[in-house]
Amino acid sequence: MKKLAVVAFGGNALLRSGQKGTIGEQEQNVHDTCLSLLELIKNDYNIVITHGNGPQVGNILLQNIAGAKVYDIPEMPLDICGAYSQGLIGYMIEQQLRNILEERGIEKDVITIVTEVLVDKNDPAFTRPTKPIGPYYSKEEADKMAAENNSVFAEDPKGRGWRKVVASPKPLVIGNKKSIENLARDGQIVIAVGGGGIPVFYKRPNFLEGIDAVIDKDLASALLATQINADEFFILTDVPKVCINFNTPEEQKLNMISIAEANKYLGEKQFAEGSMAPKIRAAIQFAENSGKCTIITEAKQLGNPDCGTKIVK
């Protein structure tokens, strides 16, 4: 029986440092990352792909703001912007991956599922929004918008201005998880949980509604991997292995670590917040809840038996 893997694309799979984010740049990046998936396909894996959406949803928010100011087009809420981004990124991944498969005579459907993710409207994260989104504003602009629509703004630590901050609640249930698993186990490649999924809650019994929040992509991917009984969870990043004492003379690459060791390194602040730390937490979550292995590595290492850092129970 084929193994089922969830593969979480990192930010550099779509947009790399120094790039403007043109469609040409993003399509080339996606093509290069998708080429690496061939190694998993050759090794008899079924695959579900997840991905981030930070730059893309930020641009959609800017387009919303510009459209409202210049053409009086109603602005869309954050959950709708997240849905936009899932569609456009899913389309790019579908097209580039389909091109690669067809060039090699591999017959598989590639299917994007716009994915809702259930959160708790009483999650403590909603009382202390911390996730910055969208453009930078002056203090005066931020105060004006906060008064007009009850938004919360926070000053950027690097002094670049003020940004809207939203909650980042814990993901609880992945929408359409049975269909995602069934399609993937049938041999199709599924793209799901884009940008961490669209956060939704039950406004009343049996009535879902979107909510202004951003779910951590790696945590949502780990939850998906658990809920569809994946055999392995790959988190793709820009380094071949996780390191401790990173960028120092004592730097050490980690081949395999236990959950206890991973938690110890987190406690020692070995991993940067906003970079490797969220990936380690997601890796721990999957290993702990499934009893199986998370691999953190770069895309071109896929298929290598010694690839990446393995986090195990």
Q: Tell me, what's the pLDDT at 41?
A: 95
Q: How far apart are CA 60 and CA 78, in angstroms?
A: 9
Active site residue 217: yes
Active site residue 196: no
Considering 52, 131, 308, 310, which one is annotated as catalytic? 131
Strands in the chain per DSSP E: 3-9, 45-51, 110-112, 116-118, 131-137, 153-155, 162-166, 173-174, 189-191, 198-204, 207-210, 232-237, 243-244, 252-253, 256-258, 293-298, 309-312
Active site residue 10: no
Considering 164, 177, 241, 279, which one is annotated as catalytic? 279
Pick the CATH number of 3-119+176-312 from 2.70.98.60, 3.40.50.2300, 3.40.50.300, 3.40.1160.10: 3.40.1160.10
Active site residue 11: yes
Considering 164, 177, 217, 241, which one is annotated as catalytic? 217
Q: Please provide the DSSP assignment of 89-114 as one string.
A: HHHHHHHHHHHHHHHTT----EEE--
Render pLDDT for 175-218 as a digit per residue (tens, 0 to 9).
Answer: 999 999 999 999 999 999 999 999 999 999 999 999 999 999 99
Spell out, as residue ranges, where the chain has pLDDT lower than 70.
none
The owner of tokens 């005579």 is 105
Q: Tell me, what's the pLDDT at 9?
A: 96
Considering 10, 11, 134, 197, which one is annotated as catalytic? 11
Residues 6+ apart with CB under 8 A from 77: 210, 212
Instruction: Give the residue extent of every domain in the chain.
Output: 3-119+176-312
Would the pTM of this model clear 0.85, i.e. be above it?
yes
